[in-house]
C-alpha cells in the first residue's frame, strides 16, 4: 500500500453558509416557516440576501464541516466540492483552506453560481434555513483527483451527493480509486428523506462493499430498513455492513459489526443550544480516531465530544479548540 498524505478526504456539497440574526417579523415578511429548511432557486436566493441584515459568511456543507473538524483535531484533511469562480466561491475556497484543509477542486467558469445556505437565527436560537444548491450539484467525475483519493486513508462521501447524476458518477469513481489503493470508503446517509429517495441504491452500495464504513443516525437507519423497531434495524445492519456507526442523540452512539456492538453514552453538555452540525462533527471525531488506528470505543468517545461542543453554541463549526478539548478529556495526547 502506498504512503498517504491525508487521514481523510471528503467529497460533498460545497456551500457557503450566510448567517444573520433575525426576528420573527422578518421570517413572516419573507414567508419562511420558522425552523424550516427550504430549497430555493437563484432568484429567491438573491431576494433573501438583499433583504438580510449584516451577515457572517463561511464555508459549509455537511461533509465540509466534517473535514474541517478532522483538521481541527490535528488530522491531515482534504475536500473535493464544486463552487463557481465568483465572490462566494472564493469565500468558500479561502475559508476552508484557512481551516487547514487542502482544497484544489477547479472553480467552475460557467453554469450556476456558488451554492449558499441563508441561515436566519432568531433570539430563541432557532435556525431557519434556505438553501440554493447551485454549482455544488455540478460536481463531475472530471473533478475527482485520482492522486488525492489515493493519498487519503479514508474517503468520506456525503449521501446528499446521490441526487445529481454527474455527482453520483463522481462518487462511484472515487470509491473505485480508493479501493484500488486499499483505502477505506465511508458514507454518511445524510438525511432520512435522502434515504427514502435512494434506499435501494444505498443498500446496494453497502451490500456490494462499495462502502466499507457507514454513518447513520437512528431515523436514517430506521428509514433504510423501513422499520420503526431500532433493534430490528441494527440486526439487519449487522448482516449488511462491514462496520457502521449509529448515533442516537442523547442516547449516545454505537459501532456495529457482524460480531460486536460497542456503545458509548452521549457526552454531557450544560445546555443544548443548536443541534445543527452535531452529526457532521461526530463523524469528524470518529474518522480522526479510525484513521489513526484508535480503538472503536475511543473513536466513538471522540465523536461524542466533538458533537457536544457543537450543540453547546450556535453554528456548525467548533467555537473551541477540539484538539485541546480532546486532550483535556484524556482522549488525545
Convert the pLDDT of each residue in 158-212 to its tens digit. Answer: 998 888 899 999 999 999 999 999 999 999 998 888 899 999 999 999 999 999 9
Does the pLDDT of residue 52 top 60, yes or no?
A: yes
CATH classification at residue 253? 3.40.1190.20
**Cell digits of residue 312:** 453547546
Question: Per-residue confidence at 122, pLDDT binned at 50, 70, 90?
Answer: confident
Residue 288 is assigned to a structural domain of this protein: yes
Give the other-Cβ count within 10 Å of 296's Cβ. 19
Segment 206-247, tens digit of pLDDT: 999 999 999 999 999 999 999 999 999 999 999 999 999 999
Is residue 129, in this structure, part of any structural domain at all? no
Please say whether the beta carbons of 168 and 161 come within 8 A.
yes
For the residues 266-283, what does the mean pLDDT come to? Answer: 85
Confidence band of 41 (pLDDT split at 50, 70, 90): very high
Comparing 11 with 315, the larger pLDDT belongs to 11
Given a contact cutoff of 8 angstroms between Cβ atoms, the answer to whether 136 and 81 are in contact is yes
Instruction: Give the span between the Cα atoms of 297 and 34, in whole angstroms.
Output: 38
Q: How far apart are CA 69 and CA 73, in angstroms?
A: 6
* Confidence class for position 273, pLDDT limits 50, 70, 90: confident
Number of domains the chain contains: 1
Going by DSSP bridges, is the β-strand pair 115-121/127-132 parallel, antiparallel, or unpaired? antiparallel
Classify 302 in phi/psi space as left (phi over 0), alpha (psi -120 to 50) or beta.
Answer: alpha
Structural domain of 139: 6-13+62-112+134-328
Percent of the chain scoring above 90 in pLDDT: 80
In a domain, 277, yes or no: yes
| Mean pLDDT for the chain overall | 93
Amino acid at each position: 500500500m502506498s504512503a498517504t498524505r491525508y487521514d481523510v478526504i471528503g467529497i460533498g456539497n460545497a456551500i457557503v453558509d450566510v448567517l444573520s440574526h433575525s426576528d420573527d417579523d422578518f421570517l413572516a415578511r419573507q414567508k419562511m416557516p420558522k425552523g424550516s429548511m427550504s430549497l430555493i432557486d437563484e432568484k429567491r436566493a438573491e431576494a433573501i440576501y438583499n433583504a438580510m441584515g449584516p451577515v457572517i459568511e463561511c464555508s459549509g456543507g455537511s461533509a465540509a464541516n466534517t473535514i474541517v473538524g478532522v483538521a481541527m483535531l490535528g488530522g491531515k484533511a482534504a475536500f473535493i466540492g464544486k463552487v463557481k469562480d465568483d465572490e462566494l466561491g472564493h469565500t468558500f475556497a479561502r475559508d476552508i483552506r484557512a481551516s487547514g484543509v487542502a482544497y484544489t477542486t477547479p472553480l467552475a467558469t460557467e453554469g450556476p453560481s456558488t451554492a449558499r445556505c441563508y441561515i436566519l437565527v432568531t433570539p430563541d436560537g432557532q435556525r431557519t434555513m434556505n438553501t440554493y444548491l447551485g454549482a455544488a450539484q455540478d460536481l463531475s467525475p472530471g473533478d475527482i483527483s485520482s492522486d488525492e483519493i489515493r493519498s487519503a486513508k479514508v474517503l468520506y462521501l456525503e449521501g446528499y451527493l446521490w441526487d445529481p447524476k454527474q455527482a453520483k458518477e463522481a462518487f462511484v469513481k472515487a470509491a473505485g480509486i480508493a479501493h484500488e489503493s486499499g483505502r477505506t470508503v465511508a458514507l454518511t446517509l445524510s438525511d432520512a428523506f435522502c434515504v427514502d429517495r435512494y434506499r435501494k441504491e444505498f443498500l446496494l452500495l453497502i451490500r456490494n462493499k462499495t462502502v466499507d464504513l457507514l454513518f447513520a443516525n437512528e431515523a436514517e437507519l430506521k428509514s433504510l430498513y423501513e422499520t420503526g423497531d431500532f433493534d430490528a434495524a441494527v440486526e439487519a445492519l449487522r448482516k449488511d455492513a462491514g462496520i457502521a456507526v449509529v448515533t442516537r442523540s442523547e442516547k449516545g452512539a454505537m459501532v456495529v459489526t457482524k460480531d460486536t456492538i460497542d456503545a458509548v453514552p452521549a457526552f454531557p453538555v450544560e445546555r443544548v443550544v443548536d443541534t445543527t452540525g452535531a452529526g457532521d462533527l461526530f463523524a469528524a471525531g470518529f474518522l480522526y480516531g479510525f484513521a489513526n488506528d484508535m480503538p472503536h470505543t475511543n473513536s466513538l468517545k471522540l465523536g461524542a465530544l466533538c458533537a457536544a461542543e457543537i450543540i453547546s453554541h450556535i453554528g456548525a463549526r467548533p467555537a473551541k479548540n477540539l484538539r485541546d478539548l480532546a486532550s483535556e478529556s484524556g482522549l488525545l495526547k
